[in-house]
C-alpha cells in the first residue's frame, strides 16, 4: 500500500510538471510542500523554490526559512528567500482588498509568495495545498469525531442541551463554548464549530447594523455539509476529509489561492487536489492505527523528508498579520483571525453598502423543504442556480428552509403560515412543497412544479384532495409557475386549467463537471449504464431486451428481489451499484459505452443530458418529456416494445458511424441546459414578476 500511494502521488506530480515554461514551487517548512518537492525530484523535475520570510518570526518556530532552506538543500533545489515587511503589507493592502472578489481572511500569504514568484520571472508554480485535507493533517480530524462521540446525546434532548450550553458559555470565556452542546453532536455541526470564526449569536454585534440578518444562512450551510456526507463516506477520517475538501478547501483556500496568484499572472497548480489522485488513493490516505497524520505523504518521496521537518508541529503557511494589525485592529484578546475579519469587514462592507444603495437588487427567498433521508434531488436542484445568481447585479437570493420536515398537517400549516409572512420582494417555492404557496401574495410568488407523477398514483377522493391542496390552490396563488419540461407544462395546464401564459418552462441545469470524455468503443465488451430501478424506469423490459447480448448491464439503484431474480433467469452479466456519490456516478458515466433511460414516465430525465455531455450515446423513450430532453442527440424507442429496445442497442453497438453521429448530436444538444443559460432564465423570471411594467 505505501508503494501504491507513492506511485499515485508521483503520477499526479508528473502530470502537473508538464509545461512549456519552467515550473517553480512554493516551499514552506511543512510536510506538504516538502514532500511535493521530493516527489518532483523523483520524477525528474527540477523546480526552483521560493519561501517567504518575516522579521517578526526571526528566531521563532513560526519562521519558515531555516527548515525550508534545509529542505531545498536536502533535495538539491535552487532556493529563493523573499522577505516581507510590515511596510510592504500596508502598501499592498489596498491592492489585496481590490483583488478579492469577496471578503476573505485568507490569501495574504499566497499574494506575497506569488508576487515573489513573479519578480523571479516565473509563470507556473506548484503548491502543497490539499495535503492536509487528503492525509488528515488538520486538528479537525482529531477533534470533530471526538466531539460527535461525546455530544451526540444532546440531539435527543435539545432543551436540556440548550440549557447546558448556556451554562457552559457563562463558565468559559471562549466564544465557542456555548455552541458545543448545540452543534458538537453532529458531523456537520461539529465541523462548523471547529471552522467557524463567529457563532450565530455573535453576528449581530460583529456585523454592521445595516447588514440584514439571514437567520437561515446557518441552516443552509449545515445542510450543504450534510449533503457532502451522502452517502456516508464510511469512516471518521473520510467524513472529515470530505467536509474539509468540500468546505474550507473549496470555498476558501482554493478560491483565495486563485485570486491572489492570478493578480500576479501566476498559474498555480495543486497536484494534491488532483481528482485522479483522490480516486486512486481512497482510504489509503488515512493514517493507520498508531501512525501519525500524513505519514503516508511524508514517506512517499524516495528520499525521505528530514526528521526535523517530519517532527515539526503543524503551523500552516503563516503571515504575521496579528503583529501588523497593531492597536488599531485589536479587539481585546480575541483570536487574531477574528480581529482580521473585522478589519476586512470595516474596509469592504461600506463599498457593499454603497453599491446596494445605488443598485438595489431584487430580493428573492427560496423556500425549500428540509432534507428527508433518501430524497435529495429537490434540495440539490437550485443549489448551483443560487450560487450563480449570488454574484448577479440584479438579483439577491437567500435560502429559507422549512422549520419542519414535510410530514403531517400541523407542521405543513406552520411552514405555510411562515412563508406567507416572508418579507422579501419575491418568494420562490422551489419544488415539492407546493403548500408553502397557500397564503403567499400572487404578485410576488414563483412556484416550481417538477412533475405530476403523484396524480397518476392516486385515485378517488384522495386524488381530488391532493390535487386541490398540492396543485390547484398553489398554482392559483402563484404569479409565475415554472416547470422543468414542456411535457410537465401540458400536464399541469390540463390538470389545473390555469392560464398558460403564467406557466414557463425552465429546464434543470447540467452541472459543469459533465464534459466530453472520449473513450475507445469495444463491440465485444459493451458496458450499458442504467440509472434508476423504480417501476417507471422500466428496467424489466431492458433486462429482457439485452438477454443473450454480449454486454454488461450496470444498474445504479437498489434492485428489488423480483428484479434480481429476473436478471438471474436471463443469465445477465449484471453489476448493481447503490448509494453512489457524485464523483462515483460521474466515474460510471465515463466507464459506460451506452446509457439507457427507457422509462414509462419522467418529469424531465436528467441522466439523458448527463450522458450526452460526457459523450455517450443514449437510448430513451418516445413518451413524456424524454424526446424533448434528448433532442436530436438521443435514440427514442417505445418503452413497451422489447424488440425495438434491442434493435436500438444493437445498432449502436454495430454501426460506428451511427454511434458517432448520435454522440456528436448529444454534445450539441446539452448546451441549452448549461448553468448560465438556466440561471439567466430565472433572473428574467424574477425581473418580470418584480417589475412587470419594465418587463413589458
Segment 630-683, tens digit of pLDDT: 998 999 999 999 999 999 999 999 999 999 999 999 999 999 999 999 999 999
What is residue 681's predicted lDDT score, i.e. its pLDDT? 93
What is residue 211's predicted lDDT score, i.e. its pLDDT? 53
Three-point CA angle 627, 632, 638, nearest 5°: 40
Separation of CA 446 from chain center: 25
What is residue 308's predicted lDDT score, i.e. its pLDDT? 87
Tell which residue, 408, 399, 462, 458, has the closest CA to residue 435: 408
What is residue 359's predicted lDDT score, i.e. its pLDDT? 59
What is residue 57's predicted lDDT score, i.e. its pLDDT? 84
Among the listed ranges 22-26, 46-50, 338-342, 619-623, which one has the minimum average pLDDT value?
338-342
Cα–Cα distance, 357 to 403 (Å, whole number): 32
What is residue 318's predicted lDDT score, i.e. its pLDDT? 65
526-673 CATH choice from 3.90.1150.10, 3.40.50.2000, 1.20.810.10, 3.40.50.720: 3.40.50.2000
Q: Order of strands, edge to edge, in the sheet holding 635-637?
A: 573-577, 551-556, 526-531, 594-597, 618-621, 635-637
pLDDT in tens, 216-255: 567 778 878 888 887 788 899 999 999 999 999 998 999 9
pLDDT band at 171 (very low <50, low <70, confident <90, very high): low
Name the fold adopted by 2-137+244-315: Rossmann fold (3.40.50)
Among the listed ranges 97-111, 247-261, 336-350, which one has the minimum average pLDDT value?
336-350
Average pLDDT over residues 403-417: 80
Give yes or no on whether 2-137+244-315 and 360-505 have one common fold. yes
Contacts of 176 (CB under 8 A, 6+ apart): 193, 196, 199
Whether 312 has a pLDDT exceeding 90, the answer reads: no
Whether 137 has a pLDDT exceeding 80, the answer reads: yes
To 10 degrees, the CA torsion angle through 152, 156, 161, 163? 180
What is residue 574's predicted lDDT score, i.e. its pLDDT? 94
Contact 3, 43 (CB under 8 A): no
- We find that the CATH architecture of domain 360-505 is 3-Layer(aba) Sandwich (3.40)
| Cell numbers found for residue 554 | 450496470
Of the spans 159-163, 326-330, 635-639, which averages the highest pLDDT?
635-639
Q: What is the SS3 assignment for 293?
A: coil
Cα–Cα distance, 230 to 238 (Å, whole number): 12
Among the listed ranges 47-51, 227-231, 451-455, 492-496, which one has the minimum average pLDDT value?
227-231
Residue with cell 477574528: 338
Contacts of 217 (CB under 8 A, 6+ apart): 398, 399
Strand ranges inside 74-220, DSSP E? 79-84, 124-126
What is residue 244's predicted lDDT score, i.e. its pLDDT? 94
Q: For the chain, which residues make up each domain, given as ranges?
A: 2-137+244-315, 140-234, 360-505, 526-673
**Is the four-CA dihedral 610, 615, 621, 625 of positive or negative sign?**
positive
Cα–Cα distance, 105 to 111 (Å, whole number): 12
What is residue 7's predicted lDDT score, i.e. its pLDDT? 94
- Residues of the chain above pLDDT 70, percent: 89
Q: Is 369 exposed, middle or buried (0-12, 13-18, 19+ CB in 10 A)?
A: buried
Please state, rounded to an integer, the average pLDDT across all residues of the chain: 86
Instruction: Give this prediction's pTM.
Output: 0.63
Cα–Cα distance, 649 to 652 (Å, whole number): 5
Cα–Cα distance, 530 to 545 (Å, whole number): 13
Whether 1 has a pLDDT exceeding 70, the answer reads: no
What is residue 316's predicted lDDT score, i.e. its pLDDT? 59
What is residue 331's predicted lDDT score, i.e. its pLDDT? 46
Tell which residue, 233, 49, 240, has the closest CA to residue 128: 49
Tell which residue, 112, 107, 52, has the closest CA to residue 259: 107
Contact 177, 361 (CB under 8 A): no
Amino acid at each position: 500500500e505505501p508503494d501504491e500511494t507513492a506511485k499515485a502521488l508521483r503520477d499526479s506530480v508528473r502530470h502537473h510538471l508538464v509545461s512549456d515554461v519552467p515550473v517553480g514551487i512554493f516551499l514552506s517548512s511543512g510536510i506538504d510542500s516538502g514532500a511535493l518537492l521530493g516527489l518532483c525530484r523523483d520524477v525528474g523535475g527540477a523546480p526552483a523554490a521560493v519561501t517567504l520570510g518575516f522579521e517578526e518570526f526571526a528566531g521563532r518556530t513560526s519562521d519558515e526559512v531555516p527548515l525550508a532552506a534545509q529542505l531545498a538543500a536536502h533535495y538539491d533545489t535552487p532556493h529563493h528567500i523573499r522577505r516581507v515587511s510590515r511596510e510592504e503589507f500596508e502598501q499592498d493592502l489596498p491592492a489585496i482588498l481590490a483583488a478579492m472578489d469577496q471578503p476573505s481572511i485568507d490569501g495574504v500569504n499566497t499574494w506575497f509568495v506569488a508576487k515573489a514568484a513573479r519578480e523571479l520571472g516565473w509563470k507556473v508554480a506548484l503548491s502543497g495545498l490539499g495535503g492536509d485535507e487528503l492525509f488528515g493533517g488538520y486538528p479537525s480530524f482529531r477533534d470533530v469525531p471526538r466531539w460527535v462521540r461525546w455530544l451526540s446525546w444532546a440531539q435527543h434532548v435539545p432543551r436540556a442541551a440548550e440549557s447546558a450550553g448556556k451554562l457552559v458559555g457563562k463558565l468559559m470565556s471562549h466564544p465557542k463554548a456555548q455552541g458545543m452542546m448545540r452543534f458538537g453532536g453532529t458531523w456537520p455541526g461539529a465541523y462548523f464549530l471547529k471552522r467557524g470564526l463567529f457563532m450565530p449569536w455573535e453576528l449581530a454585534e460583529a456585523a454592521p447594523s445595516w447588514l440584514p440578518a439571514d437567520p437561515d444562512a446557518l441552516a443552509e450551510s449545515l445542510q450543504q455539509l450534510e449533503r457532502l456526507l451522502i452517502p456516508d463516506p464510511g469512516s471518521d477520517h473520510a467524513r472529515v476529509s470530505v467536509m474539509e475538501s468540500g468546505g474550507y478547501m473549496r470555498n476558501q483556500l482554493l478560491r483565495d489561492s486563485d485570486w491572489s496568484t492570478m493578480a500576479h499572472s501566476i498559474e498555480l497548480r495543486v497536484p494534491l487536489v488532483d481528482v485522479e489522485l483522490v480516486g486512486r488513493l481512497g482510504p489509503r490516505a488515512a493514517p493507520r492505527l498508531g501512525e501519525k497524520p500524513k505519514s503516508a505523504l511524508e514517506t512517499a518521496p524516495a528520499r525521505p523528508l528530514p526528521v526535523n521537518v517530519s517532527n515539526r508541529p503543524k503551523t500552516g503557511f503563516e503571515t504575521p498579520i496579528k503583529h501588523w494589525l497593531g492597536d488599531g485592529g485589536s479587539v481585546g484578546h480575541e483570536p487574531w483571525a477574528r480581529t482580521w475579519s473585522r478589519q476586512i469587514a470595516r474596509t469592504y462592507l461600506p463599498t457593499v453598502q454603497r453599491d446596494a444603495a445605488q443598485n438595489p437588487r431584487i430580493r428573492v427567498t427560496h423556500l425549500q423543504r428540509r432534507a428527508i433521508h433518501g430524497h435529495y434531488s429537490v434540495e440539490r436542484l437550485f443549489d448551483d442556480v443560487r450560487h450563480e445568481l449570488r454574484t448577479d447585479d440584479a438579483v439577491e437570493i437567500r435560502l429559507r428552509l422549512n422549520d419542519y420536515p414535510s410530514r403531517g398537517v400541523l407542521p405543513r400549516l406552520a411552514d405555510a403560515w411562515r412563508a406567507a409572512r416572508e418579507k422579501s420582494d419575491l418568494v420562490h417555492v422551489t419544488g415539492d412543497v407546493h403548500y408553502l404557496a397557500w397564503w403567499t401574495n400572487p404578485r410576488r410568488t414563483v412556484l416550481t412544479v417538477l412533475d405530476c407523477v403523484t396524480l397518476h398514483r392516486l385515485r378517488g377522493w384522495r386524488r381530488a384532495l391532493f390535487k386541490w391542496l398540492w396543485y390547484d390552490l398553489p398554482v392559483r396563488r402563484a404569479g409565475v409557475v415554472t416547470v422543468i419540461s414542456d411535457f410537465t407544462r401540458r400536464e399541469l395546464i390540463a390538470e389545473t386549467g390555469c392560464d398558460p401564459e403564467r406557466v414557463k418552462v425552465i429546464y434543470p441545469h447540467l452541472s459543469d463537471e459533465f464534459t466530453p470524455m472520449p473513450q475507445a468503443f469495444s463491440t465485444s465488451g459493451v458496458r450499458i449504464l442504467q440509472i434508476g430501478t423504480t417501476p417507471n424506469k422500466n428496467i424489466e423490459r431492458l433486462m429482457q431486451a439485452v438477454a443473450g447480448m454480449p454486454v454488461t448491464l450496470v444498474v445504479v439503484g437498489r434492485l428489488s428481489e423480483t428484479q434480481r431474480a429476473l436478471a438471474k433467469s436471463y443469465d445477465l452479466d449484471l453489476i448493481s451499484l447503490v448509494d453512489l456519490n457524485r464523483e462515483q456516478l460521474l466515474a460510471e458515466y465515463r466507464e459506460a459505452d451506452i446509457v439507457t433511460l427507457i422509462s414509462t414516465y419522467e418529469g424531465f430525465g436528467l441522466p439523458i443530458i448527463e450522458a450526452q455531455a460526457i459523450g455517450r450515446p443514449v437510448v430513451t423513450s418516445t413518451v413524456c418529456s424524454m424526446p424533448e430532453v434528448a433532442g436530436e442527440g438521443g435514440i427514442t424507442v417505445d418503452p413497451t416494445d422489447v424488440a425495438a429496445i434491442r434493435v436500438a442497442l444493437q445498432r449502436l453497438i454495430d454501426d460506428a458511424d451511427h454511434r458517432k453521429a448520435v454522440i456528436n448530436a448529444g454534445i450539441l444538444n446539452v448546451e441549452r441546459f448549461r448553468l448560465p443559460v438556466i440561471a439567466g432564465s430565472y433572473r428574467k423570471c424574477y425581473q418580470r414578476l418584480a417589475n412587470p411594467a419594465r418587463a413589458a
